Structure 1
Amino acid sequence: MSRKIFLLLIPFLLFYSFQVQADEKEEQSWQDEMIYFIMVDRFNNGDTSNDYEVNPNDPYAYHGGDFKGIIDQLEYIDDMGFTAIWLTPIVKNEEKGYHGYWTEDFYDVEEHFGTIEEFKTLVDEAHKRDIKVILDLVVNHTGYNHPWLVETDKQDWFHERKDITNWENQEDVENGQLLGLPDLAHENPDVEKYLLDMAKWWITETDIDGYRLDTVKHVPKSFWEKFSKEVKSVKEDFFLIGEVWHNDPRYVAAYGETGIDAFVDYPLYEKLVDTFKEPDKRLDWLHKIWLRNQAFYENPYLLGTFLDNHDNIRFTREIIQERQNPETRLKLALTYLYGAPGIPIVYYGTEIALDGGNDPDNRRMMSFRADKVIIDYISKLAEIRKQYPSLQKGDFEILFEEKGMAVFKRTYKDETTILAINNSSSTMTANIQSDKIGEGKELRALLNDELIRTTQESYNISMDRETSNIFEVHEKTGLNWKFIAAIIGVWIVFGLFIVFVKRRAKRQK
């Protein structure tokens, strides 16, 4: 680099050094994450050498997805802004256990997915991109034909073979067989020790960052208390997010007393789907649910919010059944997911509006040749969520709701953002009094170039039908004297530097 070019760059280098010092980034926590949920067998076939009895035409068979396939698509996941991936179970499963929930060996890796060394590579490659890895773990049951079932010294490792007949009876829920799967007896000290040792082994062996705990309500709370303490002693900030499939948030929240950090928010899920699958549904209940979650959960910001998963009909199918446009409805729902409290969890394929009915139709093979409109939209939402802490940690206040048009305010420290959703089938305008947002401010849209200023004593937020946006509350645009002063100061320093250099050159001559 020549001296002249270097001298010209000095003021800009000085200015940007000031900016870096000013923008101190807060420490990342789990409530700041955005999770991409992958069913390993149905995501991407990266290694055909492990395709044993693979049949893509049979929805109950293996389709070829593996660790190599996920590694090959980590850049795709990273580009969408996801900071964590949740994988379905990877342990060795029985025939046609493509989903991972029919365990044959708790310590071995399913051969269709690859080797344990390949999984370690997957974790390492994810960590290089600052992507955390959450592994699905099943400790409630084994596969239908687990070797322990015929071992004479393991007969007391299982509960009596009987189905769950009374779902309101907790003892029945914990001791009965779920879908006929052999139910483990956690009260047996040998079973307890085996499962705890196994869970700790996977952490130390592969350096994963968290567990998604399957079928939590079917396992006694006394086991989860020991489990939480044991696994968290292995790795600092190890994350436990549980699946308690129940509509009563009080029932779900009660498991937080066991040490499980978070839960997928099933009580919210069904309401989200019902509201966003078609227009003209009111949105004021969203704030009521937030108030309810604050009352019941120790940290409601850690709840995993989702629109679909591997156990339910695809959100796209719900939309199609209502004869609506999947792209339009998905954008609305995703804006809420990323703009409201909670950890957004996106099931693979949602970003391409993948269709699917009941299990196993909701587990179709992923396609990487689909339209990128929703992919780009998710990427933009993730970028906004990362940039504004108020969308991760801020409070959640409702400012307006009428016929499906709602405006929410999120505030964290000195930052305020506005989440606006028009879920109606007509253009709507929300008139918000200035004192609710702040006088002398303006709203800068983050999903487009819209700018809203106060009109007398209010803000008028007008939105087309079935659209949404996130706004940054900012000081009114005008001459930025602080910025101008900083630039002038930099150029004065630069001028003095030039004078010094010239004088020194003359002395040397």
Structure 2
Amino acid sequence: MKRGGLLLVLILLTFQNVLPAAATEKEERKWQDESIYYLMIDRFLNGSQTNDTDVDMNDQHAYHGGDFAGIISRLDYIRDMGFTTIALSPVFANEGGGYHGFWVNDFYKTDEHFGTLAQFKTLVKEVHKRDMKIMLDLDVYHVGPHHPFLADADKQAWFIATEASELPALNLDNPETKQYMMDAAQWWIKETDIDGYRLLSVNHVPMQFWIDFTKEMKKLKEDFYLLGDEKISGPEELAVYAGAGFDGWMNYPLNKELKKTFVQPDHSFSSLFSSMKQLGKDEQDAAMSANFMDNENIVRFTHDVIKKNEHPGPRWKQALTLTYTVPGVPLVYYGSEIALDGGSGTKNHDQMNFRTDKELYDYIAQIGELRSKLPSLTRGTMEVLYDKDGAVVYKRVYEDETTVIAINNSSKTQTISLSAGELENEKELRGLLNGGLVRSADKTYMITIDRDMSEIYVLSEKTGINISYILAMSAVLLSFTIFMILVWRKSKANARR
């Protein structure tokens, strides 16, 4: 047994010497390295029946029972898909029928249908225990249609008349109103240790409020993430809000082009890449913004795909590959991993179903893992190398790492030629999604990619016959053979006794 154990250790040590060491020590994680899973609490999973008041699964306008307990029970499901952050629809106490969380009647309480404050704190702790982050939706401008402050004679100056909104709007120029919302937002950070807010109705709020708001939130938590949900018109407006302290934006210009480009094959990528410039002049301007296909307010991508008589799986894979590999933080709406259908309004908020095919789930996990391991995909520069006939190739470069992303969003196999001027000569492209290998020949890389397929390559030194690897493997095989012979002899000797 001692001799056999020694041989096993020898084998393990030999394998350890064969495997390549990590190229560089992993850098500290920043928000641009995150990937976000956004879910509507009520429609995700019912984990506890104790808070099932007014639940009616057959009524799309009623509560369906989703709660904090349900999210806790599926945190590993979300983490194993590669996500590092979860974002939640508003958790605050709502008026009757406010399953979506946007009819707030008390900013200092959790909605009773979702669970208690103590249960929410447990959720935050469980998220952090998994080395993940958690952020909440917050609309500082609106309250529920029957908020108690509306009937308070001393708070009439807290509201402003508006024809554009169906919900009462807060007067954030009023010092008391402003302080109330600032205090409430700070209270959730101090009380529960959340990591960020997605801020709604941004353009309705006075700029001075945002300047003061962002400053106070960052005082409590320096790396607290402030994501604005607003359709930024261009780099000039972006610069104004960035100066006010926002970290990033929901990338609506990119979202529009993503849907248009991937809903069917054979669509040019040119307008898509042009749209990326609307969030700044370079990659760093977009790095902290959220790239998304769906959210709670727009028709789901799956719905658009089905209307075009296309199969959702390939369309989603192509779209997500780009979403995960261009500058920005991928934000995926719950149910996308099962190609959940959903039209406008409440039809967008269908119940999550966990008993479905895992193919898309596994693909998201795969590209999520690559994104977490390749800093060039989260921090690198970007250059488009090829864009023609529904196929695109672009590269991301960070320090000494170069990744090349090839997406064939066309209805036929394509062969793409890249020159040594675009990629360093005498190297090779190693495919990480499908295992392809492309070596440079005559100062050219010839990439062949099937229709509806994508590949993420890493530019590496050429591999040849690796003598040391062969010798090491020979030693492993010899050691294993000796070990098996010894085991056989010992068992034979024991049989004779």
Tell me the TM-score normalized by structure 1. Answer: 0.88
Partner Cα distance (1:298, 1:462) in 2? 31
**Structure 1 residues 74 and 223: alpha-carbon distance in aligned structure 2, compared to 1, 3 A threshold:** same
AA of the residue aligned to 1:360: T
* Alignment-derived partner of residue 364 in structure 1: 350
CA 1:153–1:95 in 2, change beyond 3 Å: closer, same or farther? same
Q: Which position in structure 1 is the counterpart of 2:376?
A: 390
Partner residue in 2 for 1:70: 71
Aligned residues: 475
Give runs of aligned pairs for residues 485-500 of structure 1, distance below 5 A: none
Q: Which residue of the partner structure matches residue 409 of structure 1?
A: 395
Q: Is the counterpart of residue 5 in structure 1 residue 5 in structure 2?
A: yes
Q: 1:253/1:354 Cα in 2 relative to 1: closer, same or farther (>3 Å)?
A: farther
Determine the C-alpha separation between the residues in 1 that align with 2:15 and 2:450. 41
- Are residues 384 and 353 of structure 1, via their aligned partners in 2, closer, same or farther at CA, if it must alter by over 3 Å? same
Q: Partners in 2 of 1:486 and 1:429 — Cα distance?
A: 37
Q: 2:122 is matched with which residue? A: 121
User: How far, CA to CA, are the matches of 1:375 and 1:487 in structure 2?
Assistant: 35
Displacement of 1:227 after TM fit? 0.3
Q: Using the alignment, how far apart are the partners of 1:279 and 1:8 within structure 2?
A: 52
Tell me how far apart the structure 2 counterparts of residues 432 and 238 of structure 1 sit (CA, whole Å): 42
1:102 aligns with 2:112: no
The Cα offsets for residues 295-341 of structure 1, whole Å up to 9 and x where unpaired, read as: 28963211100001100000000111111110010010011011111
Which whole-Å CA distance do the structure 1 matches of 2:56 and 2:119 have between them? 23
Q: Which residue of 2 aligns with 1:61?
A: 62
Provide the rounded CA distance (Å) in 2 between the counterparts of 1:321 and 1:356: 11
Structure 1 residues 28 and 71: CA distance shift in structure 2, 3 A: same
Aligned to 2:162: 162
Contact 1:256 1:297 in 2 (8 A): no
| Aligned positions of 1:204-215 closer than 5 A | 204-215=190-201
Amino acid at match of 2:444: S
Aligned counterparts of 1:267 and 1:125: Cα–Cα separation in 2: 35
Could you tell me which amino acid in structure 2 is paired with residue 418 of structure 1? V
- Structure 2: gaps (5+ residues): 475-497
CA contact (8 A) 2:35 2:83 kept: yes
Following superposition, the deviation at residue 395 of structure 1 comes to 0.9
Over the aligned positions, Cα root-mean-square deviation in angstroms equals 2.4
Shift of 1:256: 1.4
CA distance in 1, matches of 2:86, 2:184: 21
> How big is the shift at 1:26?
1.0
Runs of 5+ consecutive residues of structure 1 not aligned to the other structure: 165-177, 489-509
Moved more, 280-289 or 210-219: 280-289
- Residue of structure 2 in register with 1:256 after alignment: 242
Supply the distance in 2 between the matched residues of 1:253 and 1:281 (Cα, whole angstroms).
Answer: 32
Match of 1:287 among 269, 273, 296: 273
Q: In the alignment, what sits opposite 2:212?
A: 226
> Matches of residues 299-448 of structure 1 in structure 2 within 5 Å?
299-448=285-434
Does structure 2 retain, via aligned residues, the 8 Å contact 1:244–1:252?
Answer: no
The equivalent of 2:136 in structure 1 is: 135
Q: 1:435: how far off?
A: 2.5
| Residues 22 and 460 of structure 1: CA distance in aligned 2, closer, same or farther (over 3 Å) | closer
Q: Secondary structure at the match of 1:356?
A: coil
Structure 2 distance, partners of 1:105, 1:197, is: 13
Q: Could you say if the C-alpha distance between residues 253 and 51 of structure 1 is closer, same or farther in structure 2, counting changes exceeding 3 Å? A: farther
Change (3 A) 1:9 1:363: same
Percent sequence identity is: 47
Q: Which amino acid aligns with 1:468?
A: S
Measured at CA, do residues 203 and 306 of structure 1 come closer, stay the same or move farther in structure 2, by a change above 3 Å? same
1:343 shift after superposition:
0.3
Work out whether 1:92 is the aligned partner of 2:93: yes
